[in-house]
A and B are shown apart, each in its own frame.
Chain A
Amino acid sequence: DVKVTQSSRYLVKRTGEKVFLECVQDMDHENMFWYRQDPGLGLRLIYFSYDVKMKEKGDIPEGYSVSREKKERFSLILESASTNQTSMYLCASSFRAGRSYEQYFGPGTRLTVT
């Protein structure tokens, strides 16, 4: 079974703090993704990585950065947390096309910034 794990289910941080969200997958997937999910807006892609040390901006990268030093791990960093970053953060992974096409998701991290 594919497993995608996220470091925290719930997190409360203060405005201005640096926040790290970590994601680990155990299926040797090349692609990893960070989304945020807000009511009525669906899933919005923050960053995407298709290989170690490679990253691409998604639709809403402002205020976020990412790190992928190892294939199985993809970290999302909020450089200086703000209240408008309060959200559910979802990590996902997938193979490159041609092997298996679907994404697999972690359980999510609900981040509250006060």
Chain B
Amino acid sequence: AQSVAQPEDQVNVAEGNPLTVKCTYSVSGNPYLFWYVQYPNRGLQFLLKYITGDNLVKGSYGFEAEFNKSQTSFHLKKPSALVSDSALYFCAVRDNFNKFYFGSGTKLNVKP
């Protein structure tokens, strides 16, 4: 069965420091992996995706993610966090039947 795990409910980081939000997945076949961000009382907003090719993918707002097949991970990263990055982040995987599976979400707090 497909599944996504985000082991941290919350990540705290100081502004200007690098940030990492962790995600591991379990999927049969080739993984299609995604990160989304959600601001309060809003829908989810697409950040980036891995479909195939280079393991390091770049997305919106300076975020990037690294696909690691051997560790079945797809961690979200940013070299220098901003206070405005504070939000809820979701990792997701898409299966071969067009269904998506989401992690439980990680709340990112960036402190000034």
Q: Please list the residues of chain A having a beta carbon within 8 angstroms of any beta carbon in chain B.
A: 4, 31, 33, 40-43, 45, 48, 50, 58, 90, 92, 94, 96-97, 101-108, 110
Contact = CB atoms under 8 A, between A and B. Distances in A.
21 contacts: A4-B43, A40-B9, A40-B104, A42-B90, A42-B102, A42-B105, A43-B44, A43-B90, A48-B99, A50-B98, A92-B100, A97-B94, A101-B34, A102-B34, A103-B34, A103-B100, A104-B46, A107-B42, A107-B43, A108-B42, A108-B43
A42 B104 contact: yes
Contact of A90 (B32, B43, B92, B103): B43
A85 to B, nearest CB: 19
A101 B109 CA distance: 29
Interface range on chain B (Cβ under 8 Å from partner): 20 to 34
B22 interface: no
Contacts of A92: 44, 100
B83 interface: no
B96 interface: yes
Contacts of B104: 40-42
B14 interface: no
Nearest to B94: A101
Listed from nearest, the 9 A-B pairs whose CB atoms lie closest are A105-B43, A42-B104, A43-B102, A105-B44, A107-B43, A102-B46, A108-B43, A42-B102, A42-B105
Interface in B83-112: 90, 92, 94, 96, 98-100, 102-105
A48 to B, nearest CB: 6
Contact of B46 (A42, A43, A58, A103): A103
